[in-house]
Structure formats: structure tokens, C-alpha cells
Amino acid sequence: MCDRPSTLLIACGALGAEATAVLRQNGLDHVKLTCLPAKLHNTPQLIPDLLREKIRANKEDFSEILVLYGDCGTAGGIDKVLEEEGASRIQGAHCYEFYAGSQNFEALAEEEPGTFYLTDFLVRHFDKLVWEGLGLDKHPELLPLYFGNYSRLVYLAQLPTDETTAKAKEAADRLGLNYMYRDTGLAGLQDFLPGPMS
């Protein structure tokens, strides 16, 4: 165990629980986790500047800064900040890709382009982020407008429980989509993070 963390991991708040699990399971005491709010995905244009602020506020205290974000709708904005600030991120356009793995995600997308994806976080917060977030609680008539081009829902499960699996199936039913389950585990995150210090 080291005296203080030497690596800072800046994560999207939607990935905080999974990142914490990987750090604990692998004894990564040299990695400190900090998160930006998950709600930033509603305003992705704000992510790069907030990420830059977080990096600059911490770069003197850590030998390495890693970022647990995909591009997340920033049109390359995150990558530009990381290049300028000397930090690096996990590979993938979004969390669906780095959870499933690039080849597996590409195969899912090619098999059925009209796929709506849920992660553990999105399953847990489905009502707030999807159902209420899209106004379907007040205007269910909008359901065909939002999901008319989708045919299935894929639950990409990281740390599944009976409860999250049941909620994912329920979400598919509510959206009128076929349900598919894929247990991704946390291998994508584990592969990205540095191993235990000797």
C-alpha cells in the first residue's frame, strides 16, 4: 500500500459505482477516484471545460490522470482537452462500447441498428432519466415518436442483481421493445486501470 494515491481517475458519475468496485476488487489503493455529475450527459457541451478544470486543479498532485469517459457526444471535445492537458481516457465512443468491448458492441449494433442500450446505472435510474426525462410519464403518446425506430433493448450488465435484471425487462416491456441481456462484467474498466503497485 502506498502513502497516497499517485493516479487520479476522473469518471462520469454514471460510472462511479462500477469504478469503485474495480478499485476495491483489485486493491488499487494508488488510484483516487473523483467524478463529474452524471447529469452532464444532458448537456455534453459542458463536459470538456469541466473536465479541464478538474484536471488542472489536480495535475500537480498526481503523476498520472486517467479519464473514464467516452466521447459522450462532445464531438471530439474531450479528446482535445486530454491532448492539451496530458491526460488519457479509456478507448470507446461511449460506455456501451467500453463495457461490451469494441468488437462485441460493433456486432450488436450491426445485428440490430435499432437497439436501445441500458447499463446498470441506467437501469437503476430508468424512471428519472428515461421515462420522466423524456416526458413519457406525462405524455405517453410520445413513446412512438422516441422509440418507433427501435426494436430491442439490450441490458449491458456490469454487476447485475435479480432486481436490476427484473427492472431491465420491465423497461423493455414499457418501451415495447424486445429484451436482450448481455453480462459484460467489469473487464473493460479493469483493462484500462493500472495494476496494483508492488
The answer to whether the Cα torsion of 78, 83, 86, 90 is positive or negative is: positive
Would the pLDDT of 132 be above 90?
yes
Residue 115 sits in the same domain as residue 75: no
Residue 90 sits in the same domain as residue 130: no
Residue 151 sits in the same domain as residue 124: yes
What is the CB neighbour count within 10 angstroms for residue 109? 16
pLDDT > 70: percent of the chain: 97
CB 15 within 8 A of CB 22: no
Residue 129 sits in the same domain as residue 156: yes
Residue 80 sits in the same domain as residue 15: yes
Residue 43 lies in a domain: yes
Residue 38 lies in a domain: yes
Residue 16 sits in the same domain as residue 52: yes
pLDDT > 90: percent of the chain: 90
Would the pLDDT of 15 be above 90?
yes
Q: What is the CATH number of the domain that holds 48?
A: 3.40.50.510
Question: pLDDT confidence of 197, banded at 50, 70, 90?
Answer: low
Residue 197 lies in a domain: no
Residue 198 lies in a domain: no
Residue 136 lies in a domain: yes
The total number of structural domains that make up the chain: 2
Domain coverage including residue 152? 101-183
Taken as a whole, the chain contains a residue count of 198
Task: Print burial letters for 79-88: b (CB count within 10 Å at least 16), e (below 16).
Answer: bebbeebebe
Residue 105 sits in the same domain as residue 38: no
Residue 85 sits in the same domain as residue 138: no
Q: pLDDT per residue over 30-39, tens digit each?
A: 999 999 999 8
Residue 91 lies in a domain: yes
Residue 1 lies in a domain: no
Question: pLDDT confidence of 3, banded at 50, 70, 90?
Answer: low
Give the model's pLDDT for residue 4: 60
Burial class (CB within 10 angstroms; exposed 0-12, middle 13-18, buried 19+) of 183? exposed
Residue 178 sits in the same domain as residue 123: yes
CB 88 within 8 A of CB 82: yes
What is the CB neighbour count within 10 angstroms for residue 192? 19
Residue 142 lies in a domain: yes
Reference 5, options 36, 35, 34, 28; nearest CA is 28
CA distance 34 to 9: 6
Residue 40 sits in the same domain as residue 119: no
- Please give the residue that has the higher pLDDT: either 5 or 3: 5
Phi, psi of 43 (to 5 degrees): -135, 65
Give the model's pLDDT for residue 195: 72
Residue 29 sits in the same domain as residue 88: yes
Q: pLDDT per residue over 158-189, tens digit each?
A: 999 999 999 999 999 999 999 999 999 999 99
Residues 6+ apart with CB under 8 A from 3: none
Residue 156 sits in the same domain as residue 170: yes
